[in-house]
Every structure is written in structure tokens, then in C-alpha cells.
Homo-oligomer: A and B are copies of this chain.
Amino acid sequence: MSIQKELTIELKSQFPASRKVYVQGTRPDIQVPMREITLEPSRGDFGEEENEPVRIYDTSGPYTDPVYEVDVIKGLPPLRQNWILERGDVENYDGREIKPEDNGFKEGDPRANLEWFPNLNKKPLRAHRGKNVTQMHYARKGMITPEMEFIAIRESMDPEFVRKEVASGRAIIPVNINHPEAEPMIIGRNFHVKINANIGNSAVSSSIEQEVEKMTWATRWGADTIMDLSTGKNIHTTREWIIRNSPVPVGTVPIYQALEKVNGIAEDLTWEVYRDTLIEQAEQGVDYFTIHAGVLLSHIPLTAKRMTGIVSRGGSIMAQWCLAHHKESFLFTHFEDICEILKAYDISVSLGDGLRPGSIADANDEAQFAELEALGILTEIAWKHDVQVMIEGPGHVPMHLIKANMEKQLEICKEAPFYTLGPLTTDIAPGYDHITSAIGAAQIGWYGTAMLCYVTPKEHLGLPNREDVREGVITYKIAAHAADLAKGHPGAQIRDNALSKARFEFRWNDQFNLSLDPERAREYHDETLPAEGAKTAHFCSMCGPKFCSMRISHDIKSMAHEKGLTEEEVIEEGMKEKAKEFVDNGSNIYK
């Protein structure tokens, strides 16, 4: 089968000088994956010493484990299955029948369900009647689940701290009981800032193979979750392929599929169609749903004078529905019913910002903040059900208005995790919106946003291809890591320090291997200096040998060594006199 063949080749590629290691928890089935990067020893001028390997957070899943045999038809191993079953609060049941409309076809269409996932599980899990299987529920009962312990090891944190953060609602662990393949991860502002990569086909472009490949590609480069935003044909089957093979949580926007089921006519949406879609996706194992339940009928006039109206797809669909029926959104009126479903599968809700600004002109306007108030109300409803919640945020926002977004969100939504798109700090750079938005994303991450939704260079222009996904993910890894550094997250600087030390010591290979994108770093270096000898040369083509400041810094050290003194002794020796002279002359530099 072509999907399997191509993906196997792609996915088994390793990062250079890296090996997969597993850190075991208190029980043998808690095995937390990390990528360990081996470094060369320091040499010559830099002393003769070994350099400790660096372990980094690893989102790439079993694909980068050389022992693991990729089989995209079987899917990934169900890592969490026992943890889920041993809690004794779930049951298997006959799942909902898959219908042609789930893939966007009419009854009897010969193309319907041609593309089924071969190894389909028809017996999904759900909570026993009256049970609540959310991680928040367990946390509030004082339980430290294996998921929490796994995360604690992954984040170098205390398991009890993880439990408390989840219990308080400050962090969420998106893990549907029907997605046991996912490696547990946490979204909360006291943990590493996470990034999400959107993938998914549209009616115009892309295929199942491409989307599965984008998912594995995105997680290889560091995506912590992915969202499948497919809107074309075969979206049920595409999602099945993605979930069965995804080592990270998968999010969706169920209203997209619901709209397909009513042939794209927003007015024809009903609570029943939407509810059916939630169950369908819950059984497949979607880990979090974006639900635009905060777009209320009364908000819509507030958008009438906007520069760019409503730019969220889900928001505009619901606005159209509300207007056509002159009724309040069924997502809002049925929100408690939605929570009943979510807690039976442990699906987190990501409260969508349907009225986020789509231009600098519309940033922080009345419509946006009116919706945020509604999201605050919904957060409390979800928490009443022990349903895990995060809040989606803007959008297009100039830098000076970003902080207010974070502050209002924390206050109104009682510190539920914030999950923002960008924000984009200017509108004038289509083709470069990964950058306009990374500027905003780094800032809002520093201010406290828990997860950043990536933006690719194709934003506003078209569907991202594989290279766009890589560019978007790396750009957002930069923003998230810059935020971790600025927040003083413990251990965040280890990798920076190791890379900078390698740079200073001209260990070029280590510099490449420690970087977010070793391939590109090496490729750029080799463009002008391809020879293997250049990998230990004390310069690069940027400045050439004579002008390398790092080389000169070393010469300064050598000058000291030759005289049998430490560098500082030599310098101090030569300077005492001069320094005294300057002080005597009253220069205030030396005061």
C-alpha cells in the first residue's frame, strides 16, 4: 500500500548524533521518551574534556526509535491502554455506525467509504454510566495518574505539582480514552510553552497521504499537538489515519464536519447533527474539540463596523446560523449537554475565539472582549463537570495591545490555559506571516500563554505544504523556547548554553546537532565551506579566518597560557597600572 511505503521511509529518518532514550517512572510501563544528543569532547585550546550529552523534550513518537517497526495500517502501540482500563471506570460498546455522510458523500455514492482505515476498532470506550473519566476529575480526587507521572518526568517537575495544576484548571492534559497511542503532555503556563500545528485538507487541495505525512513531519520537528482542520471529502477516514498514527494529541473543530453533513448550508445545522458529530469524533479518539460556543447573537452587531468582520471559520458559521434563525447559538444553549459527552471520553474543550480580530484595525475591540466574557462563563460550566478547558486567543494584534489580551484572559477565564493563534503584529506581510506572528507569539508566551498555534508562510494565501509545515513548526519552536527562557523555566537554557559553548569552541557538528533544525544549519554552513575539514576550522565564511572574533578571543586566552598564567592574571597584571591612572584622572568609568 502506497501510504505505508512512503511514510516508512520518511519516518525512520533520525536526527544526527541523537538517540532515543526512555526514562522509567515508578512502574515499568511508564517510559518517557527523550532525545539524547551526543556531543564531541572539547579539544586543544578549550581544554580536554568530555561534554555531557543533552536530553531534549521529544514529540516525535516511536518513529524515531530505531527498534520500532512502522506500520501505518496497524497504527502506533496503545501506550496508555492499561492505564485507562485499570481505573475500572470505562466500558467497551458498539460504536456509532460510520455513514457515507461522515466522509462527505451521499447514501449510495460509489466513492463513499472507499478509503476506510483498514484496521478499524468498532468497539470504542466510554465512561461507565455516571462515571467521569477526565484527568481533572482524577486530579480533584487527589489521584496522581500514570499520565501525570509521565508528564512530570517529561517536564522535570514534581507529579504532585502536575496534579495540582490540573485540579485547579491552570493546566490540561488532552487525552481521549480512545486515543491510547498518544504520549501524555500538558498545556499550562507553569510548564514548557507548547505549540500546535494545523494540518488538514480543504476542498481545493491535499489528500490523506499528504495529511498523515504532514502530521508525522510536524511532530518530528516538534509540534506538541496537531489539529486536523480538514474540510473536504473523506474527512472521517483522514482523521482515523491521523489519530491511529499520531503520538501527540489531536484536536478538531467539529462544526466543520457538521457543516459538511448539511451540505455547507449553515442555516441547516442542528444540535442533533452537531451532537452526532461529537460522538463520531469522540469514538475515534479526538483529544480536544474547538467549540465556538462564545459567539452569541448579541455579539454579531458589534462586528458590523469591523475592517475584516468575522475571520474565524467556526465563528462565522455560527454567526450565520444565529442570524438566519434569530436564535441564540445552540453551542451555547447546549453547552452542558456537550460537557456530558466530553467527560465520558475525557475530551478537553478549547473554547474558540470566533470573534478574534482579523486585522490590526480590529484588535482588542468590543466584539472580541464581549466573546471573552462569554468564554469565562463557559469555563465555569465546564469546570463544574470536571471537563478540562483551554481558551483560544487572537488573531491580529499590534504589540502594545498584546499584554491586555493575556491579562484579561487570566482574569475573566480564571487562569484556564490560553491558546493563541500568533498573534500577528502587522497585516502587511503575507508570505511571511509565520514571522509577523512569531513576534507576537513569543511575547504572549512570555506573558503566560500555554500553547501557541503555529502560522505558516502560506497563511492568508493557501494550504501549507510539507516545507511550510516545517518552517511554521520551527518558527514556533523558536517563539515557545524564547518564551520559556524569558519566563525562567527551569532547565530551558541548558540547550542554549551547550550550543553556544560548541559555537565558541568551533565544534561545528555539535552546533548543528544541537540546533532546532540540524539539516538546515549544516546545509547553510556547507553552502560556502563544504569540506569536512571546515567542520573543525576556527572560522566560517561569514567573516573569514582573520576576522573571526571567536578565534581572536581564543588567541587572547593562548597569549595568557604561553606565559604560564591564567588569562585573568595576565590581564590583571598588565592593567593594574592603567586602571589606577584612570581612577586618578577621575574617569567615572572606573568609579
Contact = CB atoms under 8 A, between A and B. Distances in A.
Interface of A: 202-205, 231-232, 256, 259-260, 264, 266, 296-298, 300-301, 303-304, 307-313, 315-317, 319-320, 323-324, 326-328, 358-361, 370, 373-374, 377, 396, 398-400, 425-432, 434-436, 438-439, 442-443, 446, 457-463, 465, 474-475, 477-479, 481-483, 485-488, 493, 495-497, 499-501, 503-504, 511-512, 514-517, 520-521, 523-525, 527-529, 539-550, 552-556, 559, 567-568, 570-572, 574-575, 577-579, 582, 587-590
Contacts of A495: 428
A202 B307 CA distance: 48
A497 B500 CA distance: 42
A480 B472 CA distance: 21
Nearest to A296: B589
A528 B462 contact: yes
Contact of A568 (B301, B426, B553, B570): B301
Contacts of A313: 543, 547-549, 552
B432 A475 contact: yes
A323 to B, nearest CB: 6
A456 B439 CA distance: 16
A324 B571 CA distance: 10
Nearest to A552: B316
Contacts of A575: 297-298, 300-301, 326
A542 B204 CA distance: 8
A56 B493 CA distance: 41
Given A204-B528, A360-B485, A370-B589, A319 B429 contact: no
B517 A432 contact: yes
Given A478-B435, A483-B399, A528-B462, A556 B319 contact: yes
A583 to B, nearest CB: 10
Contacts of A399: 442-443, 446, 482-483, 485-486
Contact of A493 (B309, B360, B499, B529): B360
A558 B296 CA distance: 20
9 contacts: A205-B528, A231-B543, A301-B572, A316-B556, A327-B578, A428-B481, A429-B478, A458-B542, A463-B528
Given A425-B482, A485-B398, A546 B264 contact: yes
B578 A503 contact: no
Given A360-B497, A400-B486, 15 more contacts: A204-B539, A297-B578, A307-B500, A308-B501, A313-B548, A316-B553, A358-B504, A396-B500, A399-B442, A400-B485, A431-B517, A432-B474, A435-B438, A460-B511, A461-B521
Q: Please give me the 6 A-B residue pairs with the lowest Cβ-Cβ distance, nearest first.
A: A309-B553, A203-B544, A359-B500, A326-B574, A399-B486, A316-B552
Contacts of A529: 204, 462
Contacts of A303: 553
Nearest to A371: B589
Nearest to A315: B549
Contacts of A462: 524-525, 527-529, 540-542
A205 B205 CA distance: 42
Contacts of A204: 528-529, 539-541, 544-545
B231 A546 contact: yes
Contact of A559 (B323, B370, B504): B323
B373 A432 contact: no
Nearest to A253: B547
Contacts of A316: 549-550, 552-553, 556
A520 B462 CA distance: 12
Given A297-B575, A377-B589, A320 B552 contact: yes
A203 B311 CA distance: 51
A497 B429 contact: no
Contacts of A477: 429
Contacts of A543: 202, 231, 313
Contact of A307 (B427, B458, B463, B501): B501
A268 to B, nearest CB: 13
B298 A578 contact: yes
